[in-house]
Structure 1
Amino acid sequence: MNDVTIRPATRTDDDTVWAMLEPVIRNGDTYALPRDMTREAALAYWFAPANAVLLAESAGAVLGTYYLRSNAMGGGDHVCNCGYVTAPTAQGKGIARAMLADSLERARAAGYRAMQYNFVISTNTRAIDIWTRAGFKVVGRLPAAYRHPTQGDVDALVMFRQL
């Protein structure tokens, strides 16, 4: 999708963000969040004070959301972390790639020198493929670290890229 714009989210976007987060949380196959997480807890997590939260839109429809934050404090605050969710109706249309490109640009502009994903579920092959194509490397593997709801214990990956 070429006509995707990305804008900062506000708390007036709560309903829209929750509509994207809820199916991801309930499925339990891409995020290490409780599958019974409440709306309030999910929105508090996504809109945590340290997070810059953004929305991807096209033709007036919100198609995805992501957050950008420091991965660590102190000596590690030059590395950022992001979380991405694409609306169910927008999957496979380049929205994740657009959000990734935007996040890399915003991270550089904010002075970050690297981006790290801490706990990538190894069965999330679509995301791993997108991130690998964007230059991320698997720098760690946590054996059987995630209890997948249908596949049992699966590995979690740590992925990293210099900016």
Structure 2
Amino acid sequence: MRIREFVARDWDQVWPIVEQVVRERETFTYDPALTAETGYDLWVEAAPGRTVVAVDDDGRVLGTAKMSTNRPGPGSHVATASFMVAADARGHGVGTALCRDALAWARRKGYAGMQFNAVVESNRAAVDLYQRAGFAVVGTVPGAFRHPTLGRVGLHIMYQEF
């Protein structure tokens, strides 16, 4: 597996991943009625942000990440990132590789840290991955996410200082 910059022709493989993750309504706060067109604008970051794909040896997209400045102005020294992995590629290190890539990008760009604004607390795989990568839960908004089977669960704010 390798991680490379997203190019427009990747969208045909990235959109099904985004669509599935969003429609599952278990890990992202995006509107489940998201379309491919609005999804592209939401997922693909304009420079100086960055969008990448993790691909296997055959060029199949296994996952994707986007990263950018978390907030403008006085908050512009903190980065943020989001990750999505194809259902059949989960549990094989794709998310970990994407997270490491995002952290390396943020450090190269001179950010002071990285913040995740809305990690669904019931998404144990992501929470555990981020904690292994050095992130800490710095706060939780109780009941801020409507999970389809668990009801209202919290959204963690996670942070790692560089």
TM-score (norm 2): 0.95
Give the drift of 1:48.
3.8
**Which of 56, 60, 69 pairs up with 1:58?**
56
Taking the aligned partners of 1:149 and 1:44, their CA distance within structure 2 comes to 25
Determine if contact 2:45/2:68 at 8 Å carries over to the other structure. no
Taking the aligned partners of 1:136 and 1:24, their CA distance within structure 2 comes to 23
2:71 counterpart residue number: 72
Taking the aligned partners of 1:22 and 1:77, their CA distance within structure 2 comes to 29
> What stretches of structure 2 of length at least 5 have no aligned partner?
none
The aligned amino acid for 2:104 is E
Give the drift of 1:49.
2.4
Taking the aligned partners of 1:102 and 1:47, their CA distance within structure 2 comes to 16
Taking the aligned partners of 1:98 and 1:104, their CA distance within structure 2 comes to 10
What is the percentage of aligned positions where both structures have the same residue?
A: 36
Residues 75-121 of structure 1: CA deviation (Å, up to 9, x unaligned): 11110000000111211100001111111111101111100000111
The aligned amino acid for 1:16 is Q
1:145 counterpart residue number: 144
Matches within 5 A, 1:1-163: 4-49=1-46, 51-60=49-58, 61-163=60-162
Determine if contact 2:45/2:67 at 8 Å carries over to the other structure. no
The aligned amino acid for 1:45 is L
Residues 6-32 of structure 1: CA deviation (Å, up to 9, x unaligned): 111011111111011011010011000
Runs of 4+ in 1 over 4 A off after TM superposition: none
Taking the aligned partners of 1:84 and 1:121, their CA distance within structure 2 comes to 13
Taking the aligned partners of 2:91 and 2:140, their CA distance within structure 1 comes to 26
Taking the aligned partners of 2:19 and 2:27, their CA distance within structure 1 comes to 12
> What stretches of structure 1 of length at least 5 have no aligned partner?
none
The aligned amino acid for 1:49 is A
Give the drift of 1:122.
0.7
Q: How many residues align?
A: 160
Determine if contact 2:136/2:159 at 8 Å carries over to the other structure. yes
